[in-house]
Amino acid sequence: MKLSDILKENKRFWEKCFAGSDFDSKSPPSKNILEVIKRLQEYHAHKILDLGCGFGRCSIALAQVGFQVKAVDISSEAIKRVKKWANEEDLSIETEVSSASELVSSSESFDAIICNSVLDHMPFIEASKTMLNIENILKPGGIAYISFDGLEEENEKEFVLLDDGTRRYISGKRKGMLWRFYSDKEIKTLCKGVEILELTVRSNGERDVWIRKKENNFA
C-alpha cells in the first residue's frame, strides 16, 4: 500500500472517531496540559497554535484564559466539534482543517505551539515535515510543547509494521489508525533544527518536550 493511501486511511480513522461518540467531548484538559498552559502564561505568549487539536480541550482551555488560539486538525469532524464548543462558550477560536505536515497557513507565525499526542500518529517522515512546519511558523524565540507517547504493548495481531516501525492498525477498535513509538534519540533528531529546552520522561513513559526556535538562524 502506498504511503499516501495509508495517510488517507489514518485521516478516515480520525474522521470516524470524531463523528462518533467514542471521544468524550468537552472533557477538561489533563493536569499536565494545565501545567503547559501555566507555563505559556509565564512565557507571556499571546498567539498559540493547537496543532492536532482533536475536539479542542486544549484550545478551549487556552482561549478561556485569554490566549488568541488557532486550532488545526486533519479531521474536519474534530474541527466541527471545536467550532461548536467554542460557540457554546462564546469564545473566538480560528480553525483550519489540515494535516500538520502540510499546513496551509504556514505563512502565519505564532508565539507558541502545542502539539499534544499527535506526532505519535504519523510515520517518521511526516513527523519530520511537521517539525519543519513548527520551526517555520514559530516566531524567533517562540516555544513549542510536544508530547510523545510511551511504548504501548498491544495485540500484535491488530497491526502491521511499516518500514519505519509505524504501526498500521488493520483490525480492532484502532483499525486504520497509525501509531509509532519515538525513541528519545529519534525525538532529538526530529528537533535538530531547534533548541531543546527540556525532555522529560513521565512515570508512564510519555515524553514532554519543550523546544525553542533560535532567535537567529545564522548564529
Ligand X SMILES: C[S@@+](CC[C@H](N)C(=O)[O-])C[C@H]1O[C@@H](n2cnc3c(N)ncnc32)[C@H](O)[C@@H]1O
Residues that bind ligand X (CB under 6 A): 14, 52-54, 57-58, 73-75, 78, 99-101, 116-118, 121-122
Least distance in Å: CB of 122 to ligand X?
5
* Residue 109 CB neighbour total at 10 angstroms: 15
Looking at the Cβ atoms of 101 and 166, the one nearer to ligand X is 101
Least distance in Å: CB of 109 to ligand X?
19
Looking at the Cβ atoms of 146 and 194, the one nearer to ligand X is 146
Is there a contact between 92 and 112 (Cβ–Cβ < 8 Å)?
no
DSSP letter at 9?
Answer: H
* Residue 97 CB neighbour total at 10 angstroms: 16
Q: The cell 487539536 sits on which residue?
A: 53
Which position's Cβ is nearest ligand X? 54
Contacting residues for 160 by C-beta, under 8 A, at least 6 apart: 167, 168, 170
Looking at the Cβ atoms of 54 and 176, the one nearer to ligand X is 54
Least distance in Å: CB of 74 to ligand X?
4
Alpha carbon distances (Å) from 126 to 4, 55, 97, 99, 219: 11, 22, 17, 9, 27
Q: What is the CA radius of gyration of the chain?
A: 17
Looking at the Cβ atoms of 48 and 74, the one nearer to ligand X is 74
Specify burial of residue 6 (Cβ count, 10 A radius: 0-12, 13-18, 19+).
middle
Least distance in Å: CB of 215 to ligand X?
28
Least distance in Å: CB of 116 to ligand X?
4
Looking at the Cβ atoms of 72 and 187, the one nearer to ligand X is 72
SS3 content of the chain, % helix, strand, coil (to 5): 35, 25, 40
Least distance in Å: CB of 216 to ligand X?
29
Looking at the Cβ atoms of 1 and 219, the one nearer to ligand X is 1
Coil/strand/helix, residue 144: strand
Largest CA distance in the chain: 50
